[in-house]
Structure 1
C-alpha cells in the first residue's frame, strides 16, 4: 500500500483545511499554534484578540473550549472604562453588568467591546441570526442600550442558551464518550482516585524540593527509573491500597505516570497557586518587580514578582517566568500585558514598576510597623486616606532580593542536566518551588479537580 498512498505527517494532520485566502496565508502560523499543547497559558485571555474557534483544527477545538472555560470570562472589573459619545451624552461599559451576567459576559480592554464567552465557543455559523457576529466577532458597543444584552440571552431555546448548555456538558466528565464507553464501576472510580492521589502526592514532593521527575532510562529493566517512578515504588511498599492500583496493577492505558500526566499535574498545581495569589490581591493596589536573566539553555527569561500590602504587611509573590525574545522595552511590555491579560489582573490597580536598580529601604520597616498598628487598632477604617497613603508608600518598587532569588531557584530547577526543559514546565516548577507556603495550603482535592477539568479523562 505504501507504493500508492503517502502517509501523512503529524504536521499535515494538525493543519486546518483551507477555506479562504486568509486561511491560506496564515496556515503556517495556525499549524504552529494548533500543534502545541493547548492550555490556559497558550491562549489569549482578551476576547477581542482571540482566534475564531472554527479556525482551529477540529481535533483541538474541544481542548481550546475547555481551556477558555477554565479561565472563566474576561471581566476586568477594576478597569477604567473609556467613554464614547452617543449623541450629546458620553457613555461607557457598566461593570455592574458583570454581576448580572457573571457566567458569559466578557469585556475586551483592547477593543472596548463586550463579548459572549459561550457563544464564541459553541455558537453555530448561521449568518445574522441571534445577533449575527456582534457578541462573537466585532463585539457589542451600544452602551446606551443594556436591553440588548437581555435580548441576546433570549428564551430557553435561543442560540445563546443552547451554547451555554453545550459549555456545561463539555465540563461534565460523566457525559463524555470516553467515560460512557469505559463503563466504570464504583470501585474503578475509587481506584482511579487512589492512583491519581498517589501521582499528585509524588509530584507535590518533587516540586517542593525542586527535583527532576524523569530518569535517563525508565524501562522495566532499569535500575533507576527516575525520581517519580522510584518514589512511587517506595510509596507502594508502605501502602497496600496504593500498591493494589498502581504501576503493574493499573490498566495499561490508565497508569497516570506518563510524562504528559506529570506535566498536567504540575500545570494544575501552578494554576492553583497563582489563583490563590491573585485572590489575596483581590482589589488591592500593587506594584510589579521585573528582572531578566538567561537560563541554562541561553534563553532570555523575565521573572515577575507582585508586591502588595495585606493588613499592613508587605508581601511579595513570584507569579511566573515569561520567555522574551530580547530585553527591549517593547518586548518586556508585551510579555507583561499578556501575563496580566491571562490572569485577569487590572492595569488600573498597578501603582509602580521596578526593573532592577537600587533604592533606599532604611525607612520601610517603620512605615510597615505603622500600617500594621493601624490595622491592629482598626484605625485604618477611621483614617482611610492615611492608611491608603501608607499602602502606596509600601508598594512602591524598591530593591529587594525576591527577583534575584527567582534566578537562583531557576538554576536549581533547570540545571545542566535538565537544559531541555520547556519554558512552560519550568514556569510551573518554579512557581511551586518558590511559593512553598501557598503550595502547602492547597488541598490535593483542588489539584485533582483542576487536573480532571484540563481535558477529557478516562477516570
Structure 2
C-alpha cells in the first residue's frame, strides 16, 4: 500500500510540473492563457501539445478524474500566485542585502474597476543595478494616505526592510507627488532618507505633450496620422506603398525592415518617435 501511494504521489507531481511549466511558458511569452471558450485556450492547447511527448500527462488529460484535473481557472490562478510568490521571495533577500534601495510604484484601474498598485524595487546586487517587479496589490482608494500605507504594508508583508529605502519614484499626480499629503511626503515622514524623484519617463511625456501644443508641431502631427490611416486601411494604397518601397533601397534600409507607416500612439507621446521616423524615411 505504501509503495502504491508513493507511485500515485510521484505521478501527481509530474502532472503538476507539466501544468506549471505550461503556465510559466505562457507568462514568459506574454500569451493569454484562456480563449473565448474554456476548452480552446492557449493553456489547453499547450498542454495537448506537451501530451504528445509525455504519456503521463496524456493519460491524465484523457482519462483523469474530473474532480482532480488541476486545470480549472481557480487552480490556474492559484499556481500563478504561487509562482509569483516564489519569484518575489528570491528578489527580497537580494534587495535586503544591498546597502539601500529605491522604490517605484504606480496605480491604475484594471478591467474589473479595481485599483491595482504595481511595485518595483531598484537596488545594486553587487554586480548589476537591478529593477525588479515585486508584484501587484489592491488598494481601496487613491488618496495619498491610503496609497502610502498600502505601499509600506505590502513591502513589509513581502519581507522588504523598508528602513533601507533611500529613494522613491512616482508620476507627478498630486496624490503621489504632493509635498504635504502626497505618497512621497507621507513615506518621507516614516523614512526621512527616502528622497522623491519625479519619474523621468513621465517628465519626458509631459515635455512632448507641451511641445506638441506649438503651432508647427500641431499642424504636422495631424497630417502624419491621416496619411498613415490612408495607406494602412486601404489595401490598394498599401500595395502601392509596398511596391514603391521595394524599389527604393535607401528608404527600405532606413526604415529598418518596417514595411508600412506607423499610426501615432494616442497616450504614450514618446512612442510617436517611431511613427515619425518611419514617415520621414518613406517621405520621398
Q: TM-score, normalised by structure 1?
A: 0.36
For the residues of structure 2 that align with 1:342 and 1:184, how far apart are their CA atoms? Answer: 41
For the residues of structure 2 that align with 1:313 and 1:239, how far apart are their CA atoms? Answer: 39
Q: How far apart are residue 206 of structure 1 and its match?
A: 1.3
Q: Aligned residue for 1:254?
A: 68
Seen in structure 2, the aligned counterparts of structure 1 residues 397 and 272 have a Cα distance that, compared at 3 Å, is farther
Q: Cα deviations across residues 191-246 of structure 1 (Å, max 9, x unaligned)?
A: 2122111111111111112233234433xxxxx522222211121123324313x2
- 5+ residue gaps in structure 2? 173-192, 206-284
Equivalent residues in 2 for 1:268-279 (5 A)?
Answer: 268-279=82-93
For the residues of structure 1 that align with 2:3 and 2:102, how far apart are their CA atoms? Answer: 51
Q: Aligned residue for 1:164?
A: none
Q: Cα deviations across residues 47-72 of structure 1 (Å, max 9, x unaligned)?
A: xxxxxxxxxxxxxxxxxxxxxxxxxx
Question: Any idea what SS the aligned residue of 1:280 has?
Answer: helix
Q: Aligned residue for 2:171?
A: 356
For the residues of structure 2 that align with 1:298 and 1:264, how far apart are their CA atoms? Answer: 21
Q: Aligned residue for 1:316?
A: 131
> Which range moves more in the overlay, 197-206 or 300-309?
300-309
Q: 1:214 aligns with which of 23, 28, 34?
A: 34
Structure 1 or 2: larger helix share? 2
For the residues of structure 1 that align with 2:125 and 2:201, how far apart are their CA atoms? Answer: 18
RCO comparison, higher one (Cα < 8 Å, 6+): 1
Seen in structure 2, the aligned counterparts of structure 1 residues 288 and 234 have a Cα distance that, compared at 3 Å, is same
Question: Any idea what SS the aligned residue of 2:200 has?
Answer: coil
**Does the 8 A contact of 2:96 with 2:161 survive in 1?**
no
For the residues of structure 2 that align with 1:287 and 1:229, how far apart are their CA atoms? Answer: 40
Q: How far apart are residue 183 of structure 1 and its match?
A: 9.3
**Does the 8 A contact of 2:118 with 2:135 survive in 1?**
yes
Question: Any idea what SS the aligned residue of 1:198 has?
Answer: helix
Question: Any idea what SS the aligned residue of 1:342 has?
Answer: helix
For the residues of structure 2 that align with 1:264 and 1:325, how far apart are their CA atoms? Answer: 23
- 5+ residue gaps in structure 1? 1-180, 219-223, 358-391, 405-459
**Does the 8 A contact of 1:287 with 1:352 survive in 2?**
yes
**Superposed CA RMSD:** 3.2
For the residues of structure 1 that align with 2:37 and 2:198, how far apart are their CA atoms? Answer: 47
Equivalent residues in 2 for 1:15-34 (5 A)?
Answer: none
For the residues of structure 1 that align with 2:201 and 2:22, how far apart are their CA atoms? Answer: 33
Seen in structure 2, the aligned counterparts of structure 1 residues 195 and 316 have a Cα distance that, compared at 3 Å, is same
Question: Any idea what SS the aligned residue of 2:91 has?
Answer: helix
Question: Any idea what SS the aligned residue of 2:89 has?
Answer: helix
Seen in structure 2, the aligned counterparts of structure 1 residues 298 and 260 have a Cα distance that, compared at 3 Å, is closer
Question: Any idea what SS the aligned residue of 2:154 has?
Answer: helix
**Does the 8 A contact of 1:203 with 1:266 survive in 2?**
yes
Seen in structure 2, the aligned counterparts of structure 1 residues 232 and 330 have a Cα distance that, compared at 3 Å, is same
Q: Cα deviations across residues 364-386 of structure 1 (Å, max 9, x unaligned)?
A: xxxxxxxxxxxxxxxxxxxxxxx
Instruction: Say whether residues 1:201 and 2:21 are aligned partners.
Output: yes
Q: Aligned residue for 2:151?
A: 336
Instruction: Say whether residues 1:267 and 2:81 are aligned partners.
Output: yes
For the residues of structure 2 that align with 1:280 and 1:346, how far apart are their CA atoms? Answer: 11
For the residues of structure 1 that align with 2:4 and 2:66, how far apart are their CA atoms? Answer: 15
Q: 1:292 aligns with which of 107, 123, 133?
A: 107
- Number of equivalences: 183
